[in-house]
Every structure is written in structure tokens, then in C-alpha cells.
């Protein structure tokens, strides 16, 4: 089932506000410094305002009766188990939205939803192309990836690339077919205040460059939307007030250096307690020159980046991550995220306390060497040096170790903003565990307790089980919304 569902406390005479959304659902081992490519000039590069691609802003409206009927049918089809005291309802049934990825609310309670058409089409997962793994880890810039695609998928090599579908129908299977699909952004609303969404509109259809990844994440701040689509963090605006996006500005360009695992691109944008925007790039890496001319160079591991809301003073906040899909600040400004593991036998995911300047230890070449390099010995730095484990007596001094090992397949993530759900859930963080089957998937709630300069995992319990949740966000009504794939 594709839908968005909210979790709320059981409160008599109150309709739970639950959102149901469809979700699609070779490097040095030492830390890579954030180095300057050229002297900082003191001149801030101006932003370039671009018009978005032309599209038809399609609208779907449901009558109150139809929306209620579809929401009830959708909820009844989801056999889940809930923690005591919680209720689950469907907020946005199909056909309002399908295959969503990222979700975000604005101050008016409207939801913005990203949807991808490029996954499994134009965005290539390297696991289907093992011969590309070693060349890919030599890339240090997005343009290296572009040049590789144009060479390996040249029109004259069409006969060698039968695996690639002729998406544009020109009779040739080549790199131009990787520019055939666009990413989408929708606005979803409950227009009559009955607790069930009844309106959706396509407000953006764009982003189809050869090196474009997937529209993973979105966040709203005042009149602006910020969208993560590698290789860029975009600021989007509706300049004429018609409800549809008409301009875009790239605030930071240069993410997604490598061809890697699908879903490892830009995601998780949020506004931090310092008023800056934070976002993540997975282990596809970054090589960004910020607006002041400073080079943010970390091409071989995942990073958390931050910048002012106009893109100035962009910087790498933390590195050495693999793929933390989403992250969140707690009420004290601590940044926490579950990070996906490297798929090594015996390895577990990591619950990470993300601090300024940290290196969590991961490098993308520790993913690929074990698969295809005949000259690689059996020694695996990541596993044999136990870099994935919480602090232990022989811990490598150059990394910040995880707080704890966690559940397989972390996806969406958010922290209770303080008054959500009820007092029993105060101080909890909520993370989706996505394993590929409903029976093995859940949303977990956990708390942390102080330990030294960091934390330890205190409580960890099942909030919802039997559902494949992806994006997770608290709404302005205090309900926990998540996408059900």
C-alpha cells in the first residue's frame, strides 16, 4: 500500500491527524580535509535565478465523502501493531499522491511531498555494474562522473548497452536516455479541516540533467522551499503567488561525486536551532566551491553540510558517514541520526551523535573493494579494525565512534519537538526501520542518557510494527506522520 499515515495519542472526540503518504518509496583511509581550492576572495558569488522547466500544474480534488471513504479503506488494509495509547489513521490517500519520498510541513499545515521518476531509470545503482566500481572510486568531482557516462554510454556504443532502456525513443541506448525523467514536488492539503487531506497539486516538475540524482528531501521556511537533488541544494520560490514554483537557485553545487548505491544522494534538509540549513550527502561524496570561493572537498565519504539560508558560508559540519537518510536535533541542539551499515557480514547499523568537525570513519572504497578487485587482500579496514562498533578499549583515535549499534535499514527520522503525542513520549526520537518486508519493518522510539561527553542508548521500543515506513516527520498538530510504502 502506498500512503501516508500519522500516529497520535488516543484522545476521545478528537480525530487523529495522521498522514498517509506513498513512498517509492579508491580513497585514503585518513580523514579528508576541508581544503581551499583557491584563496577566499572576500567577494560572495551572486546567486543565479533560473526559471523552472515548463510543466502542467495538475490538481487532484476529493470530496469530503470520497476522502473519508478512501482513508478508511486504506487504514483498514494496514494490519499494524501500535504501542499502547496510540492511534493510527490515514491522512492522504491515493490518488492525491503516490510514490513519495521526502515530506515537510509549512507553518500553515500544508504538506510538501517529493516524488521520483528517476529511481531505477536514470539514476543508476552501481550494484548492477560491478565493472564500474573501481573507476568510480577514482572520481573526485561531479564532472568526472559526467565524463564517464558520456564515454561508457556513448551513442556509438549503443549495441554494447542493451541493459539500458531507450527511454527517449531515439533508437539509441546512450547517456541521453539518462536525461529522460524529471523529479516532482507536490503540495497536499486538508482544505476543510476534517483531518483528512482532500487536495494535491503538482507544483514543480524539473531536474533531469545527466548527473541528476533523486529529489530526496524538502524543507519549508517562511516563503521558501529548499529541495535536495544531487548535485545541488536548491532554493525554490513562487514569485507570483499562484501556488506553483517558478524560480530555482542553486545554493551549493557539487554533491554526488561517485556512482554508488541508489538512495545515497542528498537528503534530510532541516533548519537548525542556529537558523542555518543542514543537509546530508551520502558516501557519493562532495566537491563544492561555496559562494565565498572556499572548496568543500570530501569526495569519498558521507557528510553533513550547513549554510546560511541564502547559501553563504556553506561548510562541511561532519564527515565519515555512509548514508544517514534523515537526522534531527533534540531539544538541546544535539544532532542525532541512525547511519546505514556497509552490508558486511556481522556488521550492524550505527546510532551516531553528530558533532562539529567529527569523522565517523566510513570511506566509499571500503564498500566496493571487497566485491571486484582481484588484487585486494582479505583485510577489511572497516570490519577488522572494528570502526563500526561503539567505543571499545582499542578504538581508533581518529574517529568519533557511534553511540550504539541499531536496527537494520534506518530511513526516516525525527525527534519529538516537545509537545507532540503525549508526555509518555517526551524526549523520544523516532526512526523508521525499513527492511523490505512489512513483517520485519517498524518505527522505533528511543531515548538517550548522558555518558561522558556523549550519550548512551537508554530506551529503545517499538512504536509501530508491520508497516514499511520511509519518511518520518512531526506535523504542526503534534501527530507523527510517516510514509507507508
pLDDT tens for residues 138-173?
A: 999 999 999 999 999 999 999 999 999 999 999 999
The C-alpha atoms of residue 76 and residue 70 are separated, in whole angstroms, by 10
* pLDDT score for 317: 99
Edge-to-edge strand list for the sheet holding 302-307: 266-271, 277-281, 302-307, 315-321
Looking at residue 118, the DSSP 8-state letter turns out to be -
CA distance 317 to 353: 12
Instruction: Give the CATH superfamily of 3-484.
Output: TolB, C-terminal domain (2.120.10.30)
Q: So what's the pLDDT on residue 11?
A: 37
Quick one: average pLDDT of 464-471?
Answer: 89
SS3 64: helix
Helix, coil or strand: residue 262: coil
Report how far residue 287's alpha carbon sits from residue 316's, in angstroms, rounded to the nearest whole number.
10
Annotated domain spans of the chain: 3-484
Grid-cell match 506522520, residue found: 481
User: Which of 226, 360, 229, 284 lies closest to 27, judged by CA?
Assistant: 284
Bridge pairing between strands 302-307 and 277-281: antiparallel
C-alpha cell at 445: 522510539
| Residue at grid coordinates 553528530 | 354
pLDDT in tens, 277-287: 999 999 999 99
Q: Which of 287, 15, 337 is nearest to 144 (CA)?
A: 287
Length of the chain counted residue by residue: 485
Query: Phi and psi of 199, rounded to 5°?
Result: -145, 135
- Summarised one tens digit per residue, pLDDT across range 16-41 is 333 333 322 233 344 444 433 344 44
**If DSSP codes are grouped into helix, strand and coil, which group holds residue 354?**
strand
| Phi, psi (rounded to 5 degrees) for 145 | -65, -45
- CA-based nearest residue to 437, from 472, 469, 406: 469
More confident position, 432 or 30: 432
Q: If you average pLDDT over residues 430-451, what whole number do you get?
A: 94
480 and 431 in contact (C-beta within 8 Å)?
Answer: no
**E strand or H helix that includes residue 205:** strand 199-206
From residue 130, how far is each of 49, 124, 369 by CA, in Å?
39, 12, 10
**Which residue, 179, 30, 44, 191, is CA-closest to 118?**
179
Annotate 2-44 with DSSP letters as a single string. Answer: -EEEEEEE--TT------EE-------SSPPP---SS---S-P
Average pLDDT over the chain, rounded to an integer: 90
* pLDDT mean over 385-399: 96
Neighbouring residues of 187: CB distance < 8 A, sequence distance ≥ 6: 110, 111, 112, 113, 200, 201, 203, 243
- Identify whether the C-beta of residue 252 lies closer than 8 Å to the C-beta of residue 314: yes
Contact 194, 164 (CB under 8 A): no
Give the contacts of 467 (CB within 8 A, at least 6 positions apart): 5, 78, 80, 438, 441, 442, 443, 484
Q: Are strands 480-484 and 20-21 parallel, antiparallel or unpaired?
A: parallel
Whole-structure pTM value: 0.92
Q: How many CB atoms lie within 10 A of CB 256?
A: 28
Alpha-carbon span 284 to 265, nearest angstrom: 7
Residue 418 gets which letter from DSSP? S
188 - beta bridge partners?
111, 200
The phi and psi torsions of 252 (rounded to 5 degrees) equal -155, 125
Q: Strand, coil or helix: what is 309?
A: coil
Cα R_g (the chain), whole angstroms: 22
256, pLDDT greater than 60: yes
* Span 337-362, average pLDDT: 95
Average pLDDT over residues 220-246: 97
Candidate from 190-199, 226-235, 462-471 with smallest mean pLDDT = 462-471
- Please state, in angstroms and as integers, the Cα–Cα distance from residue 310 to each residue in 221, 225, 333, 382, following that order: 12, 12, 22, 37
The confidence score (pLDDT) of residue 39 equals: 44
User: What does 233-260 look like in DSSP terms, one character per residue?
Assistant: EEEEE-SSSSSS--EEEEEEE-B--S--
- Cα end-to-end distance, the chain, whole Å: 6
CA distance linking residue 319 with residue 357, whole number of Å: 7
Query: Rounded distance, CA 341 to CA 251, Å?
Result: 30
Q: What is the pLDDT of residue 22?
A: 32
Amino acid at each position: 500500500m502506498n500512503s501516508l499515515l500519522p500516529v497520535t495519542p488516543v484522545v476521545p472526540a478528537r480525530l487523529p491527524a495522521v498522514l498517509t503518504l506513498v513512498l517509492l518509496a579508491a580513497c585514503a583511509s585518513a580523514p579528508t580535509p576541508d581544503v581551499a581550492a583557491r584563496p577566499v576572495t572576500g567577494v560572495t558569488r551572486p546567486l543565479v535565478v533560473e526559471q523552472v522547466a515548463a510543466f502542467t500544474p495538475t490538481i487532484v480534488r476529493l470530496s469530503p465523502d470520497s476522502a473519508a471513504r478512501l482513508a478508511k479503506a486504506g487504514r483498514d488494509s494496514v494490519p499494524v501493531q501500535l504501542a499502547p495509547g496510540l492511534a493510527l489513521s490515514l491522512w492522504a490517500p491515493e490518488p492525491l499522491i503516490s510514490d513519495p519520498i521526502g515530506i515537510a510541513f509549512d507553518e500553515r499545515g500544508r504538506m510538501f511531498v517529493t516524488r521520483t521518476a528517476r529511481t531505477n531509470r536514470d539514476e543508476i545503482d552501481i550494484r548492477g555494474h560491478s565493472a564500474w566500481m573501481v573507476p568510480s572510486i577514482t572520481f573526485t568531482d561531479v564532472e568526472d562522473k559526467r565524463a564517464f557516462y558520456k564515454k561508457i554510454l556513448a551513442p556509438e556504443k549503443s549495441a554494447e548497452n542493451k541493459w539500458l532502456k531507450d527511454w527517449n525513443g531515439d533508437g539509441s541506448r546512450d547517456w541521453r536516455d539518462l536525461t529522460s525523467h524529471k523529479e516532482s514536488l507536490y503540495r497536499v492539503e486538508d482544505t476543510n479541516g476534517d483531518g483528512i487531506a482532500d487536495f494535491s497539486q503538482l507544483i514543480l516538475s524539473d531536474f533531469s540533467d545527466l548527473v541528476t540524482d533523486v529529489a530526496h528531501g524538502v524543507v519549508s521556511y517562511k516563503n521558501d522551499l529548499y529541495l535536495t537533488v544531487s548535485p545541488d541544494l536548491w532554493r525554490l520560490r513562487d514569485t507570483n503567488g499562484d501556488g506553483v514554483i517558478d524560480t530555482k537557485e542553486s545554493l551549493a553545487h557539487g554533491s554526488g561525486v561517485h556512482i554508488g548505491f541508489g538512495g545515497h544522494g542528498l537528503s534530510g534538509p532541516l533548519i537548525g536551532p542556529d537558523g542555518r540549513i543542514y543537509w546530508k550527502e551520502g558516501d557519493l561524496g562532495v566537491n563544492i566551491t561555496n559562494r565565498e570561493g572556499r572548496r568543500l572537498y570530501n569526495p569519498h565519504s558521507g557528510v553533513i553540510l550547513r549554510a546560511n539560508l541564502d547559501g553563504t558560508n556553506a561548510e562541511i559540519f561532519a564527515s565519515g558517514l555512509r548514508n544517514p537518510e534523515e537526522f534531527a536535533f533534540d531539544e538541546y541542539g544535539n544532532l542525532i541520526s541512525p547511519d546505514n551499515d556497509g552490508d558486511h557480514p556481522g556488521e550492524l547499523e550505527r546510532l551516531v551523535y553528530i558533532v562539529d568537525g567529527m569523522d565517523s570513519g566510513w570511506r566509499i572504497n571500503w564498500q566496493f573493494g571487497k566485491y571486484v578487485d582481484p588484487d585486494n587482500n582479505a583485510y577489511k579496514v572497516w570490519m577488522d579494525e572494528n570502526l563500526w562498533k561503539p567505543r571499545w578499549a582499542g578504538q581508533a583515535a581518529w574517529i568519533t565512534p557511534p553511540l550504539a549499534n541499531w536496527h537494520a535499514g534506518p530511513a526516516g527520522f525525527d525527534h519529538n519537538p516537545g509537545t507532540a503525542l503525549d508526555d509518555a513520549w517526551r524526549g523520544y526520537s523516532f526512526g523508521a526501520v525499513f527492511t523490505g518486508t512489512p513483517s520485519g519493518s517498524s518505527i522505533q522510539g528511543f531515548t538517550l542518557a548522558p555518558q561522558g561527553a556523549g550519550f548512551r542508548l537508554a530506551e529503545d521500543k517499538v512504536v509501530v510494527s508491520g508497516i514499511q515506513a520511509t519518511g518520518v516527520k512531526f506535523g504542526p498538530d503534534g501527530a507523527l506522520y510517516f510514509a507507508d510504502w
